[in-house]
């Protein structure tokens, strides 16, 4: 029987912990579990100070200044840690394209440092956050996240006794920093014109609660080397604009460097190693791990699948909420 109280009494560290996910995840843990301690590991002391005040100087939250590029600092931070959630990353597609050395240092070498430190410090479980852009990547951000997945999926080969590592992969989080929704809203306020790159563009969207839920699920159920993927919906960008403000004018600007027309959460190649559950999928490292194999079935888990689309009214209700 799976122990659903596995988080109680645990010491949990979140890299990039001052980001949208880190803050929401920490609040969720404090509210729903008897956590021993939460450690927020990040490099921005100002954001840490804001988060410290937001959490009311909670006695079970400790803030650690550090960078995932610093392997020695990670090893110091990971001492006596039970679980690590690796959320630190350089996330903006244009920023990664313009600063490739930094993107590789943070997203790939930083991931290696996290994995190594976890193994050396005998951290019990590590869940690394990935993105739909890691599937058949065409931009550097997606490429670095693909490498991150490989590091944590295959990193279990180095530690089978103490440390178990898996990944979670999902799409855009509605309330996250850099989300297109607040950007569109601001453009409407400024000039009542929304800049849309292409009329046929689609994207996956999910609530922050869904991101938290799949990470908790991964921590509870992971055996090592899985990629957990929540069942989420997508939307046409033009429908998203209408959901925000149906009277806004639209200016088409063209697809930017490294930008896809549609995103993919599970590729055709991965589908033969994928098992479907009620609210999520699991992509395994090899086909032999799949218990319920559906022969000749290819998952069409792409953002342009009309069966997955939010309606305008559904998205409007989510935004207004």
Tokens of 142: 């997606």
Q: Report the top-level CATH class of 11-171+206-230.
A: alpha beta
Q: Summarize pLDDT for 9-61 with one digit per residue, the tens.
A: 999 999 999 999 999 999 999 999 999 999 999 999 999 999 999 999 999 99
pLDDT at residue 130, rounded to an integer: 98
Q: Summarize pLDDT for 184-235 with one digit per residue, the tens.
A: 989 999 998 999 999 999 999 999 999 999 999 999 999 999 999 999 999 9
Element (H, E) at 64: strand 61-65
pLDDT for 310 beyond 90: yes
133 is catalytic: yes
Q: Summarize pLDDT for 75-105 with one digit per residue, the tens.
A: 999 999 999 999 999 999 989 999 999 999 9
Tokens of 167: 């990944």
pLDDT for 1 beyond 50: no
pLDDT at residue 295, rounded to an integer: 52
User: Do the bridges between strand 164-170 and strand 125-131 make them parallel or antiparallel, or are there none, so unpaired?
Assistant: parallel
Q: Summarize pLDDT for 238-297 with one digit per residue, the tens.
A: 999 999 998 999 999 999 888 899 999 999 999 989 999 999 999 999 877 777 665 545
pLDDT at residue 3, rounded to an integer: 58
pLDDT for 320 beyond 80: yes
Of 81, 108, 72, 99, nearest to 17 by C-alpha is 81
pLDDT for 298 beyond 70: no
- pLDDT, average across residues 157-167: 89
Domain positions in the chain: 11-171+206-230
Tokens of 150: 């490989």
pLDDT at residue 143, rounded to an integer: 98
pLDDT for 144 beyond 70: yes
pLDDT at residue 297, rounded to an integer: 52
CA distance 287 to 96: 33
pLDDT at residue 220, rounded to an integer: 95
CB 275 within 8 A of CB 288: no
Considering the chain, what is the average pLDDT of its residues? 93
Say how many C-beta atoms besides its own lie within 10 A of residue 167's C-beta: 26
Q: Summarize pLDDT for 122-133 with one digit per residue, the tens.
A: 999 999 999 999
The catalytic position among 10, 23, 125, 133 is 133
């Amino acid at each position: 029987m799976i122990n659903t109280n596995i988080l109680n009494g645990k010491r949990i560290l979140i890299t990039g912990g001052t980001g949208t996910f880190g803050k929401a995840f920490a609040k969720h843990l404090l509210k729903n579990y008897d956590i021993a301690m939460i450690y927020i590991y990040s490099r921005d002391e100002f954001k840490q100070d804001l988060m410290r005040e937001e959490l009311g100087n909670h006695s079970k939250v400790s803030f650690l200044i550090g960078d995932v590029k610093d392997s020695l600092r990670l090893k110091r931070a990971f001492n006596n840690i039970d679980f690590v959630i690796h959320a630190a990353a350089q996330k903006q597609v244009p920023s990664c394209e313009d600063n490739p050395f930094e993107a590789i240092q943070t997203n790939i070498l930083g991931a290696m440092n996290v994995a190594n430190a976890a193994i050396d410090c005998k951290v019990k479980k590590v869940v690394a956050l990935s993105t739909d852009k890691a599937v058949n990547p065409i931009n550097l951000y997606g490429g670095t996240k693909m490498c991150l997945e490989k590091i944590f999926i295959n990193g279990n080969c180095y530690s089978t006794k103490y440390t178990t590592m898996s990944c979670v992969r999902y799409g855009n989080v509605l309330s996250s920093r850099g989300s297109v929704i607040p950007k569109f809203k601001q453009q409407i306020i400024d000039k009542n014109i929304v800049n849309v790159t292409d009329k046929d563009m689609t994207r996956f969207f999910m609530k922050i609660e869904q991101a938290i839920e799949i990470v908790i699920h991964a921590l509870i159920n992971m055996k090592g080397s899985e990629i957990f993927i929540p069942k989420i919906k997508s939307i046409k960008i033009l429908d998203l604009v209408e959901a925000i403000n149906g009277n806004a004018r639209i200016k088409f600007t063209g697809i930017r460097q490294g930008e896809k027309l549609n995103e993919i959460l599970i590729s055709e190649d991965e589908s033969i190693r994928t098992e479907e559950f009620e609210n999520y999928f699991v992509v395994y490292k090899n086909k032999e791990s799949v218990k319920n194999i559906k022969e000749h079935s290819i998952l069409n888990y792409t953002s342009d699948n009309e069966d997955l689309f939010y309606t305008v009214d559904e998205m409007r209700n989510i935004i207004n909420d």
